[in-house]
Structure 1
Amino acid sequence: MEHSEVDALAHPEDSEFESALRPKRLDDFHGQPRVRDQLGLVLEAARFRGTSPDHVLLSGPPGLGKTTLAMIMAVELDSNLRISSGPAITHAGDLAAILTGLDAGDVLFLDEIHRLARPAEELLYLAMEDFRVDVVVGKGPGATAIPIELPPFTLVGATTRAGLLPGPLRDRFGFTAQLDFYAAADLGGIVRTSARKLGVDIRSDAADEIAGRSRGTPRIANRLLRRVRDYAQVGGHPVVAVAEARQALELYEVDELGLDRLDRSVLTALCKLFAGGPVGLSTLALSVGEEVETISEVAEPFLIREGLMMRTARGRVATPAGWRHLGMEPPAGSTPSLFDEDA
């Protein structure tokens, strides 16, 4: 389960705030300038022709705005938005029911589309290309396929693992956008905008402090802003200054690079218990009392991206930067060999 899913379960009100903080128009969408400009051109061309835009695939890590962009597309096109997800569609009939309920020009958003069941995926091929589905009536030799015409619609697929998408499905999207992690300056703008919507009086340097600890992810930035708001309100601080932001983030165990308790536990175990590695993933997970999937999918990608840890053919190793982030000097000869890297 991802951090975002845990937070939504633990704090149901946060999902309501997240919805309120989403930009409604493409011009209000901070960051991702390349994707924003490309998508804007796709939408403007469709409006000019009076047709539905090509199907759109949004790819990237969680929390970067894929769902928000799908909602913005529907608003910009003045269309209805239907939302579902790959794991929720277990049979071709489930997808057929959704598709046949669409009106002309609707936007259908399928989150985690790489997890779509194979029968539903094959049904989707025909719907995307020919705007038609074949509904099979009966079983065995007497089964009959009844073609049903669909109105023109735009499918917006979102995936966090584009490599798992079958080639035939990926090739049917007319526009593919790869969302990247956000620059700190863009995140600072998002924090300031969200603070205004939440009625939080925050100074610019405090917003930048939150942005710098948000791992390049707007969802995390908004989550940290809400926790800083809580700290300021309870502590009687009408204006959030950088000192209050730092104190709040330290209370919630988010350090200056954005590492949380789990990240530091993994890095500390790697350096202190295993002398910087190499150590196997399962052994590392046992040492911090977490599941292997939690380490590999939640903590490890960020530690590697920050250059604090490396994966090698012999196991995980701490980099000199990882040692120094914990306030320790790396032992002599601890720099991993490039020849040990896991392809």
Structure 2
Amino acid sequence: MSFDDTPAELLAPELESETELAFEGALRPSSLAEFVGQVKVRGQLQLLLTAATMQGRTPDHILFAGPPGLGKTTLAMIVAHEGNRPLRMASGPAIQHAGDLAAVLSSLVPGEVLFIDEIHRMARSAEEMLYLAMEDFRIDIMVGKGAGATSVPLELAPFTLVGATTRAGLLPNPLRDRFGFTAHLEFYGDEELERVLSRAAALLGLDIDKAAIAEIAGRCRGTPRIANRLLRRVRDYALVYSTGTGTADVHAVRAALELYDVDALGLDRLDRAVMEIILSRFDGGPVGLNTLAVSVGEEAETIEAVVEPFLVRIGLLTRTPRGRVATAAAWQHFGMQPAAARSMQDDL
């Protein structure tokens, strides 16, 4: 059966998937002028790219560091697009041997941009190969084994390496020092997030007012990726419960986010589970990381890398040498009191 003869009901999921992928691509700005937020980084990056174009050379190697969802991958795509250069994308966890990296580097064309996401998770042997590649655009390949092994130099085409990391402290100093420009991405303010959401709503064809956009912006943890995800859930809610009109007001936003367990501060189910364990079971702490992870049924790394940074940033949790401790703001937000305060009230 040909594609033209395929029943419409079988084509629907495929067409829907293509639509969603097209939307994801449309959400990513293609130029620095379209990119919202990170004003200082955008200015620095614009200068670096413009100078490289004027001098007819490849831009310096670039490292983007910061929490997930702030636009590191998007900026890497913009670096390639602004210079009209091809882009090669790779992932640090997938490069587990020097040979994996050598295969990628040897196939680059002149001026190509190589983007390595989570670059701090590359194998150590690959990192050491990258030192020479970044500085001299060549690598040394070992041929043979044992006493008869020889090193054969392989010249590489000039390229720009763009690395992205959520854990800049895990990068070895020799690798970090070889980047000509390191950009530290910051969390977004509410005004910037409202601009991100307004643009995404227009692409979605969602009729949403300013108050509703502000409500979403206040709950997305300063992260554009989360903002776009919540907006799509609000779109779905408005489509289902607004008689198919797809109109979203502040009441629809609150109802949708309540349905998906996102509260007024942006806390989700796991955030609240962590805080409630600390407050109710351990009377505010201190609680060790491993004890906390076992109590909520999650990996310690997930708690440390995903949950804690946000809770610390908004002032609900502090880290001490003895463990995690809830703040007074946490007790107030969850409407609870420490055991000492409850005991004092009982005595009165």
Length-normalised TM-score, structure 2: 0.89
1:25 is paired with a residue whose SS is coil
Gaps of 5+ in 1: 1-10, 335-343
Deviations 1:63-90 (Å, cap 9, x if unpaired)?
1100000001110010100000111111
Deviations 1:286-326 (Å, cap 9, x if unpaired)?
32232322222221221111110111122211100000110
The 5-angstrom pairing of residues 1-343 of structure 1 reads 17-236=23-242, 237-330=245-338
Residues 23 and 203, structure 2, Cα contact 8 Å, conserved in 1: no
Deviations 1:253-277 (Å, cap 9, x if unpaired)?
1011100011111111111111111
Distance 1:16 1:311 in 2: 42
Residues 320 and 330, structure 1, Cα contact 8 Å, conserved in 2: no
1:28 is paired with a residue whose SS is coil
Shift of 1:12: 11
Match for 2:196: what amino acid? I
Q: % of aligned pairs identical?
A: 64
TM-aligned CA distance change 1:187 to 1:45, over 3 Å: same
Distance 2:196 2:232 in 1: 13
Distance 1:61 1:333 in 2: 37
Match for 2:131: what amino acid? Y
2:33 is paired with a residue whose SS is helix
Distance 1:62 1:165 in 2: 17
Distance 1:117 1:292 in 2: 23
Distance 1:145 1:107 in 2: 27
The alignment yields a C-alpha RMSD, in angstroms, of 1.8
1:158 is paired with a residue whose SS is strand
Length-normalised TM-score, structure 1: 0.90
Gaps of 5+ in 2: 1-16, 343-348
How many residue pairs get aligned? The number is 324
Match for 1:326: what amino acid? F
Task: State which structure, 1 or 2, has the greater radius of gyration over its C-alpha atoms.
Answer: 2
